[in-house]
Structure 1
Amino acid sequence: MKQERLSVDVAIVGAGPAGLSAARAAAKSGATVAIVDDNPRAGGQIWRQAATAAPTSAAAERLAILRQPNVTHLAATRIVAETQPGTLLLEDDERGLLLDYRTLILCCGARELLLPFPGWTLPGVTGAGGLQALIKYGLDVRGQRTVIAGSGPLLLASAATARQAGARVSHVLEQAAWGDVAGFGAGLWRWPSKLAQAAKLVTAVYRPDAHVVEAFGDKRLERVRIRHGDREFDVDCDRLACGFGLVPNTVLPSHLGCRIENGAVAVDAHQRTSRDGHFAAGECTGVGGSELAMVEGEIAGYAATGQTAPLAALVARRAHWQAFADSVRERFAIREPIRRLARPDTLLCRCEDVRFDTVAREPGWTAAKLQSRCGMGACQGRVCGAAAQALFGWTPPVPRTPLVPARVGTLMLDGAASCDGA
């Protein structure tokens, strides 16, 4: 296995809208920039296209930064640990790599919140964002009877992606009440681009105050039970995409000692974290959409490289998009009936087959892991940990080294063999 070392002025974690915008701003100073991303293609979930698809104009403008001579893109690369202040241990399929930096910008994004309900582990059931990603990577859904359910604007985007790929989308179920959805729509005039986007995505099968109660099937999904208002009914389907919004990815920022508040990385007016020389931008600082992520990335990139002139205008623009994010969070908050969908025998941790009632009686996440192996499977708690945090209010422990499974050869780099266990 090859062993290398790379030194840059600015390291950026994440090649989504925030990370690419941060790189674009930082590179204008002439600084050397490295962008680390665990996906093979840049763009994040929102801009990740099928291999044959042309990127949107906004994406193309920012993806162009990857061709600049002072920018290095480390694709399909995982962050294993911080070996010492200013050095990250990385690994890809062929090598271990030590990345030295003067300044770090964390654009770690978010992951989908999946909440347990009877039948949610059946083949054919995915997250709403998960279905989008699968389609972009080539999943054939042509002719499949599809139900989209959960909460938030992502549902309409997921439904549109599925329809464009040939799926027969029969229901889009939003758990938020009619009043909240109507109030959100009435306020969209403040963000004309979002209003235009909503007008394109809206569908006649969209239903607020509705959610999936249970999924049924023998070897895979066959039908779902829907509750709409006070009425329940069954719908035959081949695929269910069910997600309840997004939660910030804070594993690496927490590992680096950045302060976490309300489940997100805490930052100041210029996106600085509580750790000196470390900035954060985008969904890891609070879920708010691509427009907010891009402006936060720009602020972080300029501030990290001492380019202060553009900051005042960008801070004002950030406030505009932060107001949109606040509206989404308020109007699409998870309601109590959703939190009560799981039965005692419903699996919470699907990797280790741990039942809901086994975890629910524990006082916290660490105790749940010790008593049940919850969160110790393939996803390492990324699904069940977020669900437990949302359902029980547990605070996750600070992640330990190594952050991801890694080869022994990688862990031997620069004394990293002193890892203290997972």
Structure 2
Amino acid sequence: MNEYADLLIVGAGPAGMAAALAAAPSGARIVMLDDNPLAGGQIWRDGPQASVPVQARQLRERLQSHRNIRHHPGTRVIANPGPKQLLVEDDEHGWLISYDKLILCTGARELLLPFPGWTLPGVTGAGGLQALIKAGLSVQDQRVVIAGSGPLLLASAATAKKHGANMQCIAEQASLKAVAGFATQLPRWPNKLLQSFTLFDRHYRTGTHVLAALGSDRLEAVRLHQQGKIVELACDRLACGFGLIPNVQLGQALGYALEGQALAVDAWQASRVDHYAAGECTGFGGSELALVEGAIAGHAAVGDFEAARQLWPRRARWQGFAKALNRAFALDPRLKSLARPDTLVCRCEDVPHGALAGHTNWRSAKLASRCGMGACQGRVCGGAVQHLFGWQPSAPRPPFCPARIETLMSLDDTPPAP
């Protein structure tokens, strides 16, 4: 099966949904891909224990009401066989999609920094714990510590408490001064101020970061540096997240430019001719910024530049929130020294920190140690080594993720003419 789209959108989170809805009135043939079973992205992830917000449900209903929007759930991008072509695969088959315009809304993932014991069973990412709970994981009566940086810690804690967890500590590495300074700015975004009240937890501690996870066969306790003191807390689960890093791998493979760790875009959310990007792959700023960026990209991609321009002030408002957030929760340089020489950095290939310290770039480290060459293809360790050593991971080569032989064979098919 081959397919053609006037507008292809990769990612069905807030940015992707907003882009599709903005472009739909043009009558363009819109195809939206996502590897989740339902639209909503990570922030509005579904599951047996998930409570999907009203806004997400409304956006899904609006998408379904447009006949010119086709949504392929559970679908992954495997390769880019030619200009304006993507090879994709779902659980049943693979096929080629040709497109005229493309919007990448590939989101972001957690930054996981290595520290002693971080590979013990019972240790996850902060967002990872939230996703596991939504998928059905029981945390009833379990002692939970959440550590790292940013508002995701509070959101993850709220989800865990809602499902019966006993919160021991929420360890925020940012200082009290930085967090308080950020809090004083929240009245500029009233809904964020209200949200902060609903998420507040008495176990929240600033100036606190993880030192080690303790245990033999699984997690038993966590050692924290808490406001100048070393403390140990017994716990059953430790969830760590040190912020988010944009998913730029597909953009890199397609020739998008980078600005820092994110995809570079202009005022129209364009990165190159006929290629746009929106949401957290262009920088972390929350769902509100992702929604308006997606709408701008959707309008611009179908030529409605006036509608896109009218959204610029709203985008600027939420960009202000993103800048305040990222400034307040900037990572303490001390977090780069958590790992010991024997601490694993690449879990897939069992590569310790000591095996990487003598190298000067990502390529050299990969050739010598196989770091980043395992099952996750550097999605975890890539962000870690970029933070620890400043190495920029190279653009991925296809296949971008494991694929069936039958899918790769479909590269011989002739794509349909527009």
Letter in 2 for 1:388: V
Which residue number in structure 1 is paired with residue 196 of structure 2?
198
Which residue number in structure 2 is paired with residue 92 of structure 1?
90
Task: Name the SS for the 1:187 alignment partner.
Answer: helix
> How far apart in 2 are the matches of 1:63 and 1:415?
35
- Is the 1:65–1:71 contact (alpha carbons within 8 Å) kept by the matching residues of 2? no
Which residue number in structure 2 is paired with residue 287 of structure 1?
284
Does 2:57 align with 1:49? no
Q: 1:82 aligns with which of 51, 70, 80?
A: 80
> How far apart in 2 are the matches of 1:384 and 1:398?
15
Q: How does 1:335-414 map to 2 (within 5 A)?
A: 335-414=332-411
Which residue number in structure 1 is paired with residue 295 of structure 2?
298
- Is the 2:78–2:86 contact (alpha carbons within 8 Å) kept by the matching residues of 1? yes
> How far apart in 1 are the matches of 2:232 and 2:395?
43
Letter in 2 for 1:89: L
- Is the 1:23–1:65 contact (alpha carbons within 8 Å) kept by the matching residues of 2? no
> TM-score under structure 2 normalisation?
0.97
> How far apart in 2 are the matches of 1:361 and 1:153?
35
Letter in 2 for 1:332: F
> How far apart in 2 are the matches of 1:269 and 1:255?
22
What do you get for the CA RMSD once the two structures are aligned?
1.1
Structure 1 unaligned spans of 5+: 417-422
Per mean C-alpha deviation after superposition, the further-off stretch among 340-349 and 61-70 is 61-70
Which residue number in structure 1 is paired with residue 7 of structure 2?
10
Which residue number in structure 1 is paired with residue 323 of structure 2?
326
TM-superposed CA distance for 1:192, in Å, is: 0.5
Letter in 1 for 2:174: A
> How far apart in 2 are the matches of 1:26 and 1:345?
51
- Is the 1:215–1:221 contact (alpha carbons within 8 Å) kept by the matching residues of 2? yes
Which residue number in structure 1 is paired with residue 416 of structure 2?
none
TM-superposed CA distance for 1:52, in Å, is: 6.7
Does 2:252 align with 1:254? yes
Letter in 1 for 2:182: F
Does 2:241 align with 1:234? no
Does 2:134 align with 1:136? yes
Letter in 1 for 2:72: L
- Is the 2:49–2:133 contact (alpha carbons within 8 Å) kept by the matching residues of 1? no
> How far apart in 2 are the matches of 1:209 and 1:54?
31
- Is the 2:114–2:345 contact (alpha carbons within 8 Å) kept by the matching residues of 1? yes
Structure 2 unaligned spans of 5+: 414-418
Per mean C-alpha deviation after superposition, the further-off stretch among 59-68 and 393-402 is 59-68
- Is the 1:129–1:243 contact (alpha carbons within 8 Å) kept by the matching residues of 2? yes
Q: 1:73 aligns with which of 65, 71, 74?
A: 71
> How far apart in 2 are the matches of 1:51 and 1:120?
28
Which residue number in structure 1 is paired with residue 171 of structure 2?
173
Which residue number in structure 2 is paired with residue 151 of structure 1?
149
- Is the 2:149–2:329 contact (alpha carbons within 8 Å) kept by the matching residues of 1? yes
TM-superposed CA distance for 1:100, in Å, is: 1.2
TM-superposed CA distance for 1:54, in Å, is: 5.6
> How far apart in 2 are the matches of 1:310 and 1:114?
39
> How far apart in 1 are the matches of 2:62 and 2:368?
48
> How far apart in 1 are the matches of 2:322 and 2:50?
29
> How far apart in 2 are the matches of 1:254 and 1:341?
30
Q: 2:22 aligns with which of 3, 20, 25?
A: 25
TM-superposed CA distance for 1:331, in Å, is: 0.8
Which residue number in structure 2 is paired with residue 311 of structure 1?
308
> How far apart in 2 are the matches of 1:242 and 1:235?
15
- Is the 2:48–2:136 contact (alpha carbons within 8 Å) kept by the matching residues of 1? no
Against the structure 1 CA distance between its residues 393 and 6, is the aligned structure 2 distance closer, same or farther, given a 3 Å change threshold?
Answer: same
Q: 2:58 aligns with which of 54, 61, 85?
A: 61
Which residue number in structure 2 is paired with residue 420 of structure 1?
none
Q: How does 1:105-116 map to 2 (within 5 A)?
A: 105-116=103-114
TM-superposed CA distance for 1:415, in Å, is: 3.5
Percent of aligned positions that are identical:
56
Task: Name the SS for the 2:113 alignment partner.
Answer: coil
Q: Spell out, residue by residue over 1:198-247, the C-alpha distance to the aligned partner (whole angstroms, 9 max, x if none).
A: 01001111000001111111111000111112111110000000010000
- Is the 2:50–2:134 contact (alpha carbons within 8 Å) kept by the matching residues of 1? no
- Is the 2:12–2:33 contact (alpha carbons within 8 Å) kept by the matching residues of 1? yes
- Runs of 4+ residues over 4 Å off in structure 1: 51-54
TM-superposed CA distance for 1:312, in Å, is: 2.4
- Is the 1:248–1:286 contact (alpha carbons within 8 Å) kept by the matching residues of 2? yes
> How far apart in 1 are the matches of 2:411 and 2:117?
46
